[in-house]
């Protein structure tokens, strides 16, 4: 039993990062801590291993051992042996120069007197117990020869090498594709069933609900609510918990807001802030009908869209491409796209059409070719065969200004010139590169940011703010099409909800069409009118979102749906 | 960290004043001979002692700062200019040009830097100008290689792709995004390189290939003092100390700029 009471962690003289929290984890139980980035959950996890790096007060007991005052020598016999640690960086937590077998065997070498032969047998049985196929081959490979999922399994193997009674898993599935993540969660579940106590740290309630029996919601270093997962999800008492639940896109209908409007910078007259009515967050979630939506608050810019909830009322969407060319609302059409990298077909005969004011989602796991499709559409890369047409005309990257196609990226920060301030970045986009001093306050208000942010540099902003800046930059030249390549994948649930709401609002106000790429089925389902399921460079299935996901034709689509975390 | 930068800055400020206005710090003539006062050890009257002709070494060290610093700066400027051209050609040009330039740089790398400078002096004769050019040429391949890799790195940066998507042409991207970002890291390189150039230029003077005695240049002073090094240590110690101080100070300053730009 790990019992934590009144745990406080502070760094230097700053306010405590973890502020008087108490909980316990019993053997055979999974206890989860959920919260946004910066809520103190990772520091909590690390302080249970004596690795927080700050000043710890309060009490942490492993059975009767006092962990707060444990000596370095005591820690050596606890870490790995009693409490194992599964870190979040599946991509960086393994030493690239050492074989996986060596990495996993570290604990055995340090803590047991097994002979080399016994060790290698044990390593192989560990690797196969975490579901790594062909363990003898894998043990001799290095980290970069393994996929993300296999690496995460190897990390778990090393964490359980000494059969610790407790496991601390800090965002164990965050960087992984959903089918892979589901496998990791199943693995953790089987460890729990065999008696291991698990402390699961995550920003994602849906992931937590799959594994944990009890959950604590952390905000600003405090536990604001805790209880059984069922109680907390069904009857959340704290507003922040409600916000977290509402922010999960899976199961939330298209156009329904996921988050209350952000508090910064929405006071300007042109800000077109979401309505002042109280957040419909909780009540909106489970209902099958669309919640009441505000009418579009500004006259749309050339937008013939209905503005409100029901885009299906638009003509021609039932039969894309059916009307004659002069009435066509197809803004982007791709036919027979093929892209080869060496012998590998990254994109293999992909075609689709994007209608004005609509969103086409592309869902697929890493390596499915979806980002290559985005690059082909943006003419950043040339297809080996096939064509891309914008507004009925072939497009290969010339006359980008007339093309009216923009993009936002997964890593917003690295898409900004590191020397420039937010104001300079946006001014450059707004004036077509002529000035870096134009007034960008209107643009900032449009994306819900305070105009004072213009003087700052992007790297000191939060991930959500960075993505807002990148959206502001993308819409500055008033594009008709926006390619969104995993725009929310590196954001926590709340920031993700806000960015998705913003994208939805801008689409209705400005009449943009989105090509929306994500590995996250919940996000795709919430954002898209039509959807394309990709795997290994091919389109497996396509059609209106609810048709495809409501009655999936392909096994892989079914697997994706089964793997996607939901709250239900 | 901060204190290091302040100390380095103070040393460099002193050396800069010495270089620009040596008369302020040492009003007497560095070449004036006082045969009766030769080989005086450091004392209150002559803080750094005197040399074989009775010249005050402190005065000479201060007056030598200008020559040493000028040689260091000009050599670095020459090296960096050549390197910028080569590095940009390799980093931005077509693949064959990159291949050619890189192979050329590798050939230059095969010579130890100082040997390469000596080769140049053998051909063009000794003197301050040739030794400066020689040091510049010898440092160029190192800079060029770093500039090339920075250009390649920045060239693939997502923000250049984002600029492409926004419709910025190639020339705009190079002038407004690529060059300023390459220049940022170049600045650090240059600060780090000045110290090295001063050391190399002094080495050449020490070998009698750069500034020639009785000119008050640190390397040349070292060279003049080496005959007496066993009996009159101060003749070599103080000019040598200043070479080391300058090199260390510029390096420290460069490092702290590097740390600041990284964080």
Full-model pTM? 0.79
Report chain A residues touching chain B, CB-CB < 8 A. Answer: 378, 380, 400-401, 403, 405-407, 409, 411, 414-419, 428-429, 432-433, 473, 477
Percent of chain A topping pLDDT 70: 87
The CATH number linked to B6 is 1.10.3720.10
For the cut 80, the answer to whether the pLDDT of residue A307 exceeds it is: no
Distance of CA B84 to the CA centre of its chain: 17
Three-state SS across A382-432? Answer: CCCEEEEEECCEECCCCCHHHHCEEEECCCCHHHCCCCCCHHHHHHHHHCC
Superfamily of the domain at A2-96+164-246? P-loop containing nucleotide triphosphate hydrolases (3.40.50.300)
Among the ranges given (A109-113, A547-551, B149-153), the one the predictor scored with the smallest mean pLDDT: A109-113
Identity of the residue in B165, B172, B180 whose CB atom sits nearest the CB atom of A378: B165
Mean pLDDT of A304-319: 40
Which is nearest to B158 in space by CA: A409, A477, A469?
A409
Percent of chain B topping pLDDT 70: 98
Identity of the residue in A378, A409, A429 whose CB atom sits nearest the CB atom of B158: A409
Residue A283: the pLDDT is: 39
The string of DSSP codes covering B226-252 is GGGTTT-THHHHHHHHHHHHHHHHHHH
pLDDT tens-digit profile of A156-167? 888 888 889 999
The band of A310, judged by pLDDT with boundaries at 50, 70 and 90, is very low
Which residue in B has a C-alpha nearest to residue A378's C-alpha? Answer: B165
φ, ψ dihedrals at A485, nearest 5°? -100, 100
The band of A89, judged by pLDDT with boundaries at 50, 70 and 90, is low
Residue A31: the pLDDT is: 96
pLDDT tens-digit profile of A376-406? 999 999 999 999 999 989 998 888 878 899 9
Mean pLDDT of A120-140: 88
Contact call for B181 and A378, based on CB within 8 A: no
Nearest CA-CA distance, residue B261 and chain A, Å:
10
Percent of chain A topping pLDDT 90: 49
Among the ranges given (A179-183, A189-193, B53-57), the one the predictor scored with the smallest mean pLDDT: A179-183
The band of A276, judged by pLDDT with boundaries at 50, 70 and 90, is very low
pLDDT tens-digit profile of B93-135? 899 999 999 999 998 888 888 888 888 899 998 888 898 999 9
Mean pLDDT of A210-239: 93
What contacts B125, CB < 8 A, 6 or more positions away? none
B chain contacts of residue A380, beta-carbon cutoff 8 Å: 161, 164-165
pLDDT tens-digit profile of A15-51? 899 999 999 999 999 999 998 888 889 899 999 998 8
Q: Environment class of residue B146 by beta-carbon count within 10 Å: exposed (0-12), middle (13-18) or buried (19+)?
A: middle
The band of A512, judged by pLDDT with boundaries at 50, 70 and 90, is very high
The band of A263, judged by pLDDT with boundaries at 50, 70 and 90, is low
Which is nearest to A69 in space by CA: A88, A79, A55, A83?
A55
Contact call for A415 and B184, based on CB within 8 A: no
Is residue A462 within 8 A of residue A446, CB to CB? The reply is no
For the cut 50, the answer to whether the pLDDT of residue A429 exceeds it is: yes
* A327-563: CATH number: 3.40.50.300
In chain A, ranges of CATH 3.40.50.300 domains:
2-96+164-246, 327-563
DSSP tag of A454: G
The band of A90, judged by pLDDT with boundaries at 50, 70 and 90, is low
The band of A91, judged by pLDDT with boundaries at 50, 70 and 90, is low
Report the C-alpha gap between A363 and B162 in whole angstroms.
23
The band of A148, judged by pLDDT with boundaries at 50, 70 and 90, is confident
Mutate to test the interface with A, among B159, B174, B178 (most CBs of A within 10 A): B159
Nearest CA-CA distance, residue B157 and chain A, Å:
7
What contacts B127, CB < 8 A, 6 or more positions away? B210, B212
The band of A107, judged by pLDDT with boundaries at 50, 70 and 90, is confident
The band of A262, judged by pLDDT with boundaries at 50, 70 and 90, is low
Contact call for B164 and A406, based on CB within 8 A: no
pLDDT tens-digit profile of A315-337? 433 344 444 444 458 999 999 99
Contact call for B167 and A400, based on CB within 8 A: yes
What contacts B77, CB < 8 A, 6 or more positions away? B136
Which residue in A has a C-alpha nearest to residue B181's C-alpha? Answer: A419
Report the C-alpha gap between B148 and A315 in whole angstroms.
55
**Number of domains forming the structure of chain B:** 1
Domain enclosing residue B67, as ranges? 2-262
- Of residues A341 and A309, the one with the higher pLDDT is A341
Residue B263: the pLDDT is: 55
Residue B261: the pLDDT is: 67
Nearest CA-CA distance, residue A378 and chain B, Å:
7
């Amino acid at each position: 039993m790990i019992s934590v009471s009144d745990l406080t962690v502070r760094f230097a003289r700053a306010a405590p990062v973890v502020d008087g929290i108490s909980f316990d984890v019993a053997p055979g139980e999974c206890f989860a801590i959920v919260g946004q980035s910066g809520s103190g959950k990772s520091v909590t996890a690390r302080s249970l291993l004596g690795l927080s790096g700050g000043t710890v007060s309060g009490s942490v007991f492993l059975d009767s051992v006092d962990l707060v005052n444990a000596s370095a020598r005591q820690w050596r016999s606890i870490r790995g042996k009693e409490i194992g640690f599964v870190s979040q960086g599946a991509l960086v937590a393994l030493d690239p120069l050492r074989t996986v077998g060596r990495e996993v065997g570290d604990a055995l070498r340090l803590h047991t007197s097994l002979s080399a032969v016994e060790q290698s047998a044990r390593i192989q049985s560990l690797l196969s117990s975490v579901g790594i196929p062909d363990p003898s081959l894998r043990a001799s490979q290095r980290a970069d020869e393994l996929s993300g999922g296999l690496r995460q399994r190897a990390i778990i193997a090393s964490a359980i090498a000494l059969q610790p009674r407790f496991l601390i898993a800090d965002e164990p599935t965050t960087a992984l594709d959903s089918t892979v993540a589901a496998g990791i969660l199943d693995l953790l579940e089987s460890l729990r069933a065999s008696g291991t106590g698990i402390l699961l740290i995550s920003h994602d309630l849906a992931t937590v609900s799959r594994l944990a029996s009890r959950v604590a919601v952390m905000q600003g270093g405090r536990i604001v609510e805790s209880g059984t997962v069922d109680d907390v999800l069904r009857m959340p008492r704290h507003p922040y918990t409600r916000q977290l639940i509402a922010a999960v896109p899976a199961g939330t209908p298209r156009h329904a807001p996921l988050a209350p409007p952000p508090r910064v910078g929405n006071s300007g007259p042109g800000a077109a802030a979401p309505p002042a009515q109280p957040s419909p967050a909780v009540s909106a979630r489970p209902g099958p009908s669309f919640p009441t939506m505000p009418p579009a608050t500004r006259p749309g810019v050339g937008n013939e869209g209905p503005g409100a909830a029901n885009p299906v009322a638009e003509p021609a969407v039932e039969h894309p491409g059916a009307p004659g060319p002069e009435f066509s609302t197809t803004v982007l059409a791709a036919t027979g796209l093929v892209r080869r990298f060496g012998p590998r077909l990254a994109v293999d005969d992909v075609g689709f059409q994007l209608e004005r004011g609509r969103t086409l989602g592309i869902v697929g796991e890493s390596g499915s070719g979806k980002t290559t499709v985005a690059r082909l559409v943006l003419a950043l890369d040339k297809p080996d065969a096939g064509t891309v047409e914008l507004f009925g005309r072939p497009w290969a990257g010339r006359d980008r200004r007339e093309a009216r196609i923009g993009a936002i990226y997964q890593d917003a920060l690295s898409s900004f010139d590191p020397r420039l301030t937010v104001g300079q970045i946006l001014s450059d986009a707004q004036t077509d590169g002529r000035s870096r001093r134009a007034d960008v306050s209107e643009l900032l208000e449009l994306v819900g940011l305070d105009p004072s942010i213009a003087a700052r540099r992007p790297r000191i902003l939060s991930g959500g703010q960075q993505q807002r800046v990148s959206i502001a930059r993308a819409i500055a030249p008033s594009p008709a099409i926006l390619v969104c390549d995993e725009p929310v994948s590196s954001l926590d649930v709340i920031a993700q909800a806000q960015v998705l709401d913003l994208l939805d609002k801008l689409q209705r106000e400005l009449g943009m069409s989105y090509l929306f790429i994500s590995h996250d089925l919940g996000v795709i389902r919430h954002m898209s009118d039509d959807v394309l399921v990709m795997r290994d460079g091919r389109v497996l299935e396509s059609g209106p979102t609810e048709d495809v996901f409501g009655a999936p034709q392909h096994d892989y689509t079914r697997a994706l749906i089964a793997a996607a975390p939901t709250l239900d | 960290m901060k204190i290091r930068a302040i100390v380095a800055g103070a040393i460099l400020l002193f050396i800069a004043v010495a270089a620009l206005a040596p008369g302020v710090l040492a009003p007497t003539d560095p070449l004036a001979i006082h045969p009766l006062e030769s080989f005086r050890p450091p004392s209150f009257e002559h803080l750094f002692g005197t040399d074989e002709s009775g010249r005050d070494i402190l005065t000479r060290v201060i007056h030598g700062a200008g020559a040493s610093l000028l040689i260091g700066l000009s050599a670095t400027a020459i090296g960096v200019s050549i390197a910028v051209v080569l590095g940009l050609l390799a980093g931005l040009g077509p693949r064959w040009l990159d291949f050619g330039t890189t192979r050329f740089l590798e050939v230059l790398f095969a010579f130890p830097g100082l040997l390469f400078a000596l080769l140049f002096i053998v051909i063009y004769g000794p003197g301050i100008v040739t030794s400066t050019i020689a040091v510049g040429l010898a440092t160029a391949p190192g800079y060029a290689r770093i500039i090339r890799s920075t250009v390649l790195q920045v060239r693939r940066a997502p923000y250049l792709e984002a600029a492409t998507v926004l419709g910025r042409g190639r020339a705009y991207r190079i002038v407004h995004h690529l060059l300023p970002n390459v220049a940022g890291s170049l600045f650090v390189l240059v600060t780090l390189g000045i110290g090295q150039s001063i050391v190399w230029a002094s080495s050449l003077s020490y070998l009698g290939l750069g500034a020639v005695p009785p000119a008050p240049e640190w390397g040349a002073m070292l060279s003049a003092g080496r005959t007496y090094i066993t009996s009159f240590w101060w003749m070599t110690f103080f000019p040598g100390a200043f070479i080391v101080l300058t090199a260390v100070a510029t390096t420290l300053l460069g490092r702290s700029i590097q740390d600041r730009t990284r964080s």
